[in-house]
Amino acid sequence: MSRALFIVDVQNDFTEGGALGVAGGDAVAQAITAHLAEHAGDYALIVASRDWHDADTDNGGHIALDGEPDYVTTWPVHCVAGTEGAEYDPGLDTSAVTTHVKKGEGVPAYSLFEGTTDGGEKVAALLTAHGVTEVDITGIATDHCVRASGLDAIAHGVHVRVLTGLVAGVAPDASEAALAELAHAGAELC
């Protein structure tokens, strides 16, 4: 029985000043770094995900290249592979991260379970291989990728704790609804 930590999409384009920056994103990056400084040893696996979109394509309709995005299924250009916007926020110290996952390579993706490591491994297989039965979730955005990653972790059969002081969302009402949905599905809000 072991525990993993998920750090979801703490990237420059999702923190203040980014293409889809959320209020409190930089603070979340720093708070996760502080959490890691005290608790990295508590985790058998520390997984950090990043949106990693292809340049010059709509990534399966995910990015609105022509016209205005609807901010539901289409978004402005963000987290383009190899750009500063796709890099981790400078406030996040990734030295304790054991596994880096890229998601959304040419397709829409919200959950870190949809991504792969550079070696082609999926998160579900990594959790099984490490005997992970519990996952703590942190990151951005509560009402999108944190929500999707948490629901997928629950579907994978692990106990989920959302560390609510280590997440930031796009909209307060949508973030509260996402946390309620996660709790209803079985997640613990800590």
Q: What is the DSSP string of 162-180?
A: EEEEEEE-S-HHHHHHHHH
Of 79, 136, 145, 152, which is the active-site residue? 145
- From the candidates 26, 89, 103, 143, give the one annotated as an active-site residue: 103
In 10 A of CB 88, how many CB atoms?
Answer: 19
Q: Reply yes or no on whether 79 is catalytic.
A: no
- Distance CA(117)–CA(150), nearest Å, equals 19
Helices 147-155 and 172-185: angle between axes, nearest 10 degrees: 10
DSSP state of 87: S
User: Could you tell me which of 106, 129, 133, 108 has the C-alpha nearest to residue 3?
Assistant: 133
Q: Are 25 and 13 in contact (CB under 8 A)?
A: no
Q: Catalytic one among 9, 26, 51, 89?
A: 9
Among residues 99, 181, 105, 103, which one has the least CA distance to residue 147? 181
Catalytic residue numbers, as ranges? 9, 103, 145
